[in-house]
Amino acid sequence: MFSVFNTEMMKLKNTKILWLVLIGVLPANLVSLIALLPKIAPAGTPAGINLQDMFYRQGQMLTIWGPALFALMTGYIIAREYQERTINQLFSYPVARVSFLAAKLAAVLALIALTTVLSSVSVFVVGAKLVFQQHADLNVLWLGMRMNMMICALSFGTIPVAAALSMVGKNIIPVAVLGVFVTVITAIGEAGHGSQGILFPWLTPYWPVRQLAQGIAQNSGPNPYATPALVVLALTFIISLIFCVVYYARADVHSGS
* CB-neighbour burial class of residue 194 (10 A; exposed 0-12, middle 13-18, buried 19+): middle
pLDDT score for 131: 83
At 60-73, the pLDDT tens digits run: 999 999 999 999 99
Average pLDDT over residues 150-156: 97
Mean pLDDT of 217-225: 70
* Ramachandran assignment for 178, one of left (phi > 0), alpha (psi -120 to 50 degrees), beta (any other): alpha
Is 146 within the bounds of a domain? yes
Q: Looking at the domain assignment, is residue 156 inside a domain?
A: yes
Q: Is residue 127 one of the residues assigned to a domain? A: yes
Distance CA 17, CA 82 (A): 17
Q: Residue 26: is its pLDDT beyond 70?
A: yes
3-state secondary structure of 47: strand
Give 35's contacts (C-beta < 8 A, 6+ positions apart).
Answer: 49, 50, 53, 54, 57
Provide the residue range defining the domain that includes 209. 2-250
Q: Is residue 257 part of a domain?
A: no
Local confidence band at 168 (pLDDT 50, 70, 90 cut-offs): very high
256 occurs within a structural domain = no
Q: Give the whole-angstrom CA distance, residue 50 versus residue 214.
A: 14
Bigger pLDDT: 120 vs 16 = 120
Q: How confident is the model at residue 219 (pLDDT cuts 50, 70, 90)?
A: low
Residue 246 has pLDDT above 90, yes or no: yes
pLDDT at 256: 44
Cα distance between residue 79 and residue 164, in whole Å: 10
Please compute the mean of the pLDDT values over residues 223-236 and round it to a whole number.
95
H-only helix segments in the chain: 2-13, 17-33, 51-83, 87-91, 97-119, 121-132, 138-155, 159-169, 173-192, 206-212, 214-217, 226-250
The band of 4, judged by pLDDT with boundaries at 50, 70 and 90, is: confident
- Look at the chain and report how many structural domains it folds into: 1
Which of 1, 34, 255 has the alpha carbon at shortest distance from 126?
34
Q: Which of 30, 39, 54 is nearest to 141 (CA)?
A: 54
pLDDT of residue 38: 61
Query: What pLDDT shows up at residue 82?
Result: 84
- Identify any residues that bridge with 40 across adjacent strands, giving them in sequence order: 46
Mean pLDDT (whole number) for 19-48: 74
Q: Please check the confidence at residue 257 and state whether its pLDDT lies above 50.
A: no
Do 70 and 112 meet the contact criterion of CB atoms below 8 Å apart? Answer: yes
Least confident of 4-13, 80-89, 216-225, 233-242: 216-225
Structural domain contains residue 255: no
Residue type, 123: V
pTM recorded for the entire structure:
0.89
In a domain, 183, yes or no: yes
For residue 243, the model assigns a pLDDT of 96
Query: Per the domain annotation, does 225 fall within a domain?
Result: yes
> Averaged over 84-97, what is the pLDDT?
78
* pLDDT value for 45: 55
Average pLDDT, the chain: 86
